[in-house]
Amino acid sequence: MKKNYKLTVAYDGTRYLGWEHQPGSDMTIQGKIENVLAILLHKPVPEINLIAAGRTDAGVHAENQICNIHMDTPMDEEAVRDYLNRYLPEDICVKDVRIASDRFHSRYNAVGKTYRYTCFTGPLKPVFDRKYVWRLDENPDIAAMKKAAGYLTGTHDFAGFCGNPRMKKSTVRTVDSIDIVQKGPYLTLTYHGNGFLQYMVRILTGTLIETGLGKRDPESIPMLIEARDRRLAAPTAPACGLCMVKVDY
């Protein structure tokens, strides 16, 4: 009898093309996990349907990506977890497996998500963290960034911060909070909201960093939101600094 399994997955996205299947390539997080599930379930890969809370982009990391899959297996949850981890690459880890309700859907049931973007502002190269931070050449003005972040919080049409110019669905989202914290050479921007558009967190980050570097005024943010024009926002921040932290249900 099929049951609905909820998986919590962590991964280093550096060498992958993102979460979602890509034609002609097996270098996606979804693809790697489904390949192992296909062996576990003795089914061809096309019959495996692993659903994720968010389709992280190429090079983006996750601490707690939530997935679900309906499957029939005699293994208990711990055995499923251990089997997956035995055969998955070292940069993908299934942290937890639980049986969920039949109606649980990792994407549609999500009510909030937290992403963290990390920058490095130190004078020396961050050798061991280089895959997980955006190295800045100068220290931004944190006060200016926080002022700009205040305009970005709330419910807005974030079309100007969306990387998909052909977006047909609503681009209105609610950003509950943007916390900006400097600890030593590490500058973190933590975003919580009900959902984020493609590249949205990275475009917001690029725009806030530009504000901190004096390239735009905090007071210009409301007009930027109103314009709904992607060309007016900053370039997209590098993928390496972004990590999915948590999904709320």
Annotation says 82 is catalytic: no
Q: What is the DSSP string of 17-86?
A: S-SS-BTTB--SHHHHHHHHHHHHHT--GGG---EES--PPTT-EEEEEEEEEEE--SS-HHHHHHHHHH
Q: Are 116 and 243 in contact (CB under 8 A)?
A: yes
Beta strand segments in 166-241, E:
172-183, 186-193
- How far is residue 108's CA from residue 93's CA, in Å, rounded to a whole number? 23
- How far is residue 143's CA from residue 86's CA, in Å, rounded to a whole number? 47
| Alpha-helix residue ranges (DSSP H) falling in 136-199 | 142-152
Q: Count Cβ atoms below 10 Å from residue 234 Cβ, excluding itself.
A: 20
Which residues touch 213 (CB under 8 Å, ≥6 apart)?
Answer: 138, 140, 141
Q: Which residue in the list 12, 57, 91, 229 is annotated as catalytic?
A: 57
Query: Which are the catalytic amino acids?
Result: 57
